[in-house]
Amino acid sequence: MKEKKSKRIDINELTPLKACVLRGKVVYSHITRKTSDYELQQINQRRKTPINKHHTMMTITDVKLVRQDSNEMSLEEKYTTEQLFKSEYTNDKANFIGINTSDRLPKVAVEDENGTFVNITPKGELANGLDVSLLMIVAENNGEKELQLESVIVNEPIKYYGIHSLSEKSIEALNQFTKTKNAEKGN
């Protein structure tokens, strides 16, 4: 007997401004600026469904849904988990791409010394492997609904990709070391 496939949820069934949270490790971060024309063209060559607007995005792996109700998943949470995919690149772990096509960049929040999350302006793209949570909301624009990357919550000391890959504390220590060495030399 054939196994019956469950019906996928249509995005139009979702309630605007409802949110869900996914936690995982950064694989790709492009949240500090919108894509350029060239980047948009390159991204769309690799996608089954093109993105028709300049956007920001973040791909995370080893994804876990942070459920709002432990007894039942919301329709928005169910829809979001349907968007997970596997990739050989990440050893077949669950992956998710959060996209923001709005006119603003997604917020980035870190925990301060009092245990409160505060918004920051990142100094670069977030480092691969960084533990983050993506706050996704159902956005509606001109009657069209989409799942939108609203915020990135950094769950550990922030690290940046590339030349900014040192943690904030490492940069402070490096600056202090340089000042001390310069003082010893009489500079």
pLDDT of residue 115: 87
pLDDT of residue 162: 81
23-27, 147-151, 163-167 — which is least confidently predicted? 163-167
42: CB partners within 8 A, 6+ apart? none
DSSP label at residue 184: H
Question: What is the per-residue pLDDT across 95-116, written as a single tens digit (0 to 9) for each?
Answer: 999 999 999 999 999 998 898 9
Structure tokens at 185: 């030399």
Res. 169 pLDDT band, cuts 50 70 90 = low
pLDDT of residue 1: 42
Res. 187 pLDDT band, cuts 50 70 90 = low
Please, what's the b/e burial string for 20-48 (b: 16 or more CB within 10 A of its CB; e: otherwise)?
Answer: bbbbbbbbbbbbbebbeeeebeebeeeee
Q: Model-level pTM?
A: 0.80
Q: Which of 108, 135, 113, 112 is nearest to 24 (CA)?
A: 135
Domains of the chain: 11-162 (2.40.50)
Nearest-angstrom CA–CA distance, 58 and 86: 16
Q: Coil, helix or strand for 5?
A: coil
